[in-house]
Amino acid sequence: MNLREYRVFFLIVTAVLALLAASPALSRLLILPQTDFFTEFWMLGPNHKAEEYPFNISRNHNYSVFLGIGNHLGYCGYYFIEVKFRNQTQPAANSFNRTPSSLPSLFNITAFVANDEVWELPLTFSFDYARNETLQQVKLRSIILNDVSWDMKNYTITKNSQNNDFLGNLFFELWFNNQTTGVSQYHERFVNLWLNLTG
């Protein structure tokens, strides 16, 4: 038996064993760095699916949706969701210019989400309003969202002549606390619900 014939075999076995021994260290070193830092923001319907969103709503009736945030910023995110409501003539958030609506926020929901984690909030809301058929308008009284109530007495929705409905837009803008600047800024994302306030 010539031992030199087994030289390559011996080298391969040693190299495989060395690689196995080095794998815990290599697994730490050979990690591709995260290059995309972003946040997911979504709204789901009452069955936790992207369907059956409330549209035709009745006075003082409860409706539910789910709001969710997926954090991929690379660090624990400090988010604010600004809850806003508008009629068809008032300014909306702009997806193209990536600007928020100039309307004041009714309520701010604060959310802290760990990196690569998901945060979700079940939302239950109801509207109190009065329909005036002669003036063809709806006068809002209040909105209740998760047991928090807002006085909405200055809000009026006029009838949409095309579809004969009274459309209001409940929307949620995502803001976040920028860790590098320390300033809260619009995160260029919003979700919204068009609601027809029926009789």
Q: Give residues in contact with other proteins (CB under 8 A).
A: 3, 10, 13-14, 17-18, 21-28, 75-76, 78, 107-115, 117, 119, 148, 150-151, 177, 179
141, 172, 181 from 144: Cα distances, Å:
10, 15, 35
Q: Quick check: 143 and 83 in contact, CB under 8 A?
A: no
SS3 116: coil
Based on CB atoms, which residue is closest to other proteins, 15 or 135?
15
Q: How far is the CB of 82 from other proteins (least distance, A)?
A: 10
Based on CB atoms, which residue is closest to other proteins, 89 or 154?
154
Q: How far is the CB of 193 from other proteins (least distance, A)?
A: 20
Q: How far is the CB of 164 from other proteins (least distance, A)?
A: 34
Residue with tokens 């210019």: 97
Based on CB atoms, which residue is closest to other proteins, 150 or 186?
150
Based on CB atoms, which residue is closest to other proteins, 23 or 62?
23
Q: Quick check: 198 and 58 in contact, CB under 8 A?
A: yes
Q: How far is the CB of 17 from other proteins (least distance, A)?
A: 5
Give Cα 199 distance to the centre of its chain. 30
Helix, strand, coil tally for the chain in percent (to 5)? 15, 50, 40
